[in-house]
Amino acid sequence: MSARSVLDALDPEKYSVTQVGITHQGCWVVGENVLDVMETGETRQLNLATMLPDPTRNDLFEMNVNQDGISLSELSKFDVVFPVLHGTFGEDGTLQGLLELAEVPYIGAGVLGSSLGMDKGVFKDVMRANNIPVLDSMVVTRRQIETDHSSILEAAARLADFPVFVKPANLGSSVGITKCWSKSDLYEGLLEAASYDRRVVIEKGIEAREIEISVLGNEQPAASVPGEVIPSREFYSYEAKYIDNASELIIPAPLPQHVKTLITELAIKAYKAIDCAGMARVDFLIDKNIDQSRMENGVYLNELNTIPGFTKISMYPKLWEASELPYSELLDRLVELALERKSERDGITREYRGEK
C-alpha cells in the first residue's frame, strides 16, 4: 500500500522508476508492473534480479538462470533507492548495509540509525542515556524463555504491575505484541513474541494517549505538527492499524502548547541521538492518569520508526501535509536528502596511506 502511494505520487517528468519486488522467499524480482503482479501472487512471470556490493558497478542486474549456471545482464543504474519496506530486512539496517557497500544513495536512515530504531530494547537504553523519558522495560531472550520462564515471570512482576506489554525487539506494525493482564497471559505473550525474534521486550503498561510526530532532515531535522491516534481496539494493534479501518487520526493533536513544544524537542533529540537521517515518525505515550495540569510529567517516548507507513492516509505524510508540505513535495525532499547524505559520505577518506 505504501509502495503504490509512492509510485502514484512520483512525478514522471522528474523520475524514471524501476520497481523491484521482494518475494516471501527473499528473492528480488523485476519485470512489467511488478507491484501489480506481486499482488496476484503469480511472481513466476517476473524475472530474478540482484545487485552487487561493488561501488564500481552500482547497477541492478537481471539474473538469467539456465543449465549452465547464472549470468547477469545490466538492467538499470540506481540514482537513488527508496526502500519502501517495513520491519526486518528492510528497516533494520541490513538492506542499508548492502546499499552502503555498493555506494548507492538511498532514502532514510543509515545502518546505525536503522538498526537502533528497529531494536526496541537497545533503543530504550540509548534514550535513557540521553535523558529522554521512556517506560520501564526489560529484555529477555528466546533461550531464557525456553529454559527459565519462571524467573522471567518473577522479574516482570518486579518491573511493573499488570498489565504489561510484550513485544518482539525487532519487528514493526505491532506484529507479535500482546497486552498481558496476568502471568498466564505474560507466558503466552512471551512465546508469541519469541516466535518473531530471539530478543523480547517486556514493558510497563499505562493507560495512554498515543501521539505521533513526523521528523524530516539530516543534520538539521525539522518536526511537523503532532497528531493523535484514537485506536479502534484496546491498543494500536496490527488490526487497528490496517484491517478494521476504524481508528481515528486527529491532526493537530489537542495538546497544550508547552506539551507540543516538549514533544517536538524530544523527537528531534531522539532523532539525533541515533544518527537518524531522511525521515522518521516518532511515537509518544501520554499517561491519561496524570494530572492534566502537569501533563508533561506523563510524556514517554515509545519508539522511532525510520521507515514509517507511507500511504497517502498514513500519519507520517498526513502530518507533513498539515504542516504545509504536500505528499509529492515530501517525496522530492526525501530524494534531495538522500543525495545530500551520499555527498557527505563521499567526503570520507577510505584509505590510510601512512605518514609521508
pLDDT of 182 reads 94
pLDDT of 238 reads 58
The fold adopted by the segment(s) 116-120+124-133+206-339 is D-amino Acid Aminotransferase; Chain A, domain 1 (3.30.470)
pLDDT of 273 reads 98
pLDDT of 350 reads 83
* Best CA proximity match to 258, nearest among 266, 269, 250, 248: 266
Q: For the chain, which ranges sit under pLDDT 50?
A: 237
Q: How far apart are the C-alpha atoms of 6 and 29, rounded to whole Å?
A: 19
Q: Where exactly does CATH 3.30.470.20 map onto the chain?
A: 116-120+124-133+206-339
pLDDT of 262 reads 97
pLDDT of 236 reads 57
Give per-residue pLDDT as tens, 230-285.
987 665 545 555 555 667 899 999 999 999 999 999 999 999 999 999 999 999 99
pLDDT of 352 reads 86
CA-to-CA separations, 258 to 133, 223, 263, 295, 320, in angstroms, rounded: 16, 15, 9, 10, 20
52's CB contacts (< 8 A; 6+ apart) are 59, 61, 102
103's CB contacts (< 8 A; 6+ apart) are 55, 58, 342, 345, 346
Residue 251 in grid coordinates: 491532526
pLDDT of 239 reads 52
The rounded Cα 91 to chain-centroid distance in angstroms is 5
Q: Which CATH superfamily is domain 136-204 in?
A: ATP-grasp fold, A domain (3.30.1490.20)
Give per-residue pLDDT as tens, 183-240.
999 999 999 999 999 999 999 999 999 999 999 999 999 999 999 999 876 655 455 5
pLDDT of 79 reads 92
Alpha helices in 28-148 (DSSP H): 34-40, 94-101, 111-118, 120-129, 142-147
**What is the pTM assigned to this prediction?**
0.92
Spatial strand order in the sheet of 21-22: 21-22, 28-30, 47-50, 59-66, 69-77
Q: Where exactly does CATH 3.30.1490.20 map onto the chain?
A: 136-204
CB 249, CB 315: distance < 8 Å? yes
Q: Which amino acid is at 151?
A: S
Pairing between β-strand 59-66 and β-strand 208-217 as defined by DSSP bridges: unpaired
Grouping H, G, I as helix, E, B as strand and the rest as coil, residue 139 is strand
